[in-house]
Amino acid sequence: MMLKRTFDILLSIFAIFLLFPVLLTVSFLIVIDSGFPIFFLQKRIGRGAKEFNIIKFRTMKTNNENITITVSNDSRITRIGKYLRKTKIDELPEILNVLFGQMSFVGPRPDVKGYADKLKGVNRKILALRPGITGPASLKYYNEEYILSQKSNPKKYNDDVIFPDKVKINMDYFHNRSFFLDLKIIFATIFRIF
């Protein structure tokens, strides 16, 4: 969809200029709170099952590259990281992933390799889409870290309940996606955050 990609490029450029003071301030606060690095890079599976580095603000202590599941009271989260994760500000640098063509503003969230490998049969159609900063599954599980923190076995609950539900939601998005649905999801995300 050429319209979607054009929209992504224009909106990402606009967002970078508009949010530059916020990005700079957050970077400064991260350094003050827990030092360098400012950004957290993690291998994710994108369109066509190709790996790329997702770019986020670092919200955890260093040396946590192999994280797959995080709960809201995780001891690895830094002081500023708690706020950044709660408000989703930690995901703002993903705008660069959108600009580079690795992601879109709307689509299925990109999984780490272990979870992307669980997509079988028709569910692998999800990998034909650019992953998104937000999407219908992201809206439903906006407070996923809190949900997981309430479970005795967060990983099992994620694997048995949340992940299969996200696959179902993402398949529904795959079959019904449109530019206007994307706009609706973007506005719903903004409304949810604020």
Question: In the chain, where are the structural domains located?
Answer: 2-193
Q: What is the pLDDT of residue 61?
A: 86
Q: What is the pLDDT of residue 68?
A: 62
Contact 163, 118 (CB under 8 A): yes
Between helix 179-193 and helix 2-34 the angle, nearest 10°, is 20
Q: What is the pLDDT of residue 78?
A: 93
Q: What is the pLDDT of residue 39?
A: 97
Contact 178, 127 (CB under 8 A): no
Q: How far, CA to CA in Å, does 182 sit from each of 62, 148, 189?
A: 34, 27, 10
Q: Which of 46, 56, 55 is nearest to 130 (CA)?
A: 46
Q: What is the pLDDT of residue 11?
A: 97
Q: What are the per-10-residue average pLDDT scores of the chain (194 residues)?
A: 92 97 97 95 95 96 65 81 92 98 97 90 96 97 91 94 97 97 95 78
Q: What is the pLDDT of residue 75?
A: 79
Question: What pTM was estimated for this model as a whole?
Answer: 0.89
Q: What is the pLDDT of residue 69?
A: 64
Q: Which of 162, 171, 164 is nearest to 143 (CA)?
A: 162
Q: Which of 3, 2, 12, 14 is nearest to 133 (CA)?
A: 12
Q: What is the pLDDT of residue 10?
A: 97
